[in-house]
Amino acid sequence: QVQLVESGGGLVQAGGSLRLSCAASGRTFNKYAMGWFRQAPGKEREFVTTIRWNSANTYYADAVKGRFTISRDNAKNTVYLQMDSLKSEDTALYYCAAATTLYGAISYYTQDRNYAYWGQGTQVTVSS
């Protein structure tokens, strides 16, 4: 069992930055691919970014490419999402998630049904 706790959300002006963190419990964090998803009011949850267990690959949704950066520190059981040049359309509840499949195709990790563990989410609000 893995527990994920997100933090770092808040209110920021358009053009600003935030850094989200997701702390994981458990000794096998370094075996999980990690992902960030988000859900805006009235919309379905959508993929944001993912990183393999060994940081060998990352992948971003087109909407955030070039503005967001995912990273992880396996020694600290933590994954990060650095969000720069924020836009009002980035406003959402952001979730981190852990996938137990080690060697899936990168497209595998863009689908929320392939993640076994989820955090409770942290709210990001971008004012224009």
90-100 burial, b if ≥16 CB within 10 A, otherwise e?
Answer: bbbbbbbbbbe
Model confidence over 19-54: pLDDT tens digits?
A: 999 999 977 888 899 999 999 999 999 999 999 988
pLDDT at 110: 95
pLDDT of 114 > 80? The answer is: yes
Q: CA 12, CA 56: separation in Å to the nearest integer?
A: 31
Q: Rounded distance, CA 74 to CA 24, Å? A: 10
Selection from 40, 42, 48 nearest residue 97 by Cα: 48
Angle at 23 between CA 19 and CA 29, to 5 degrees: 125
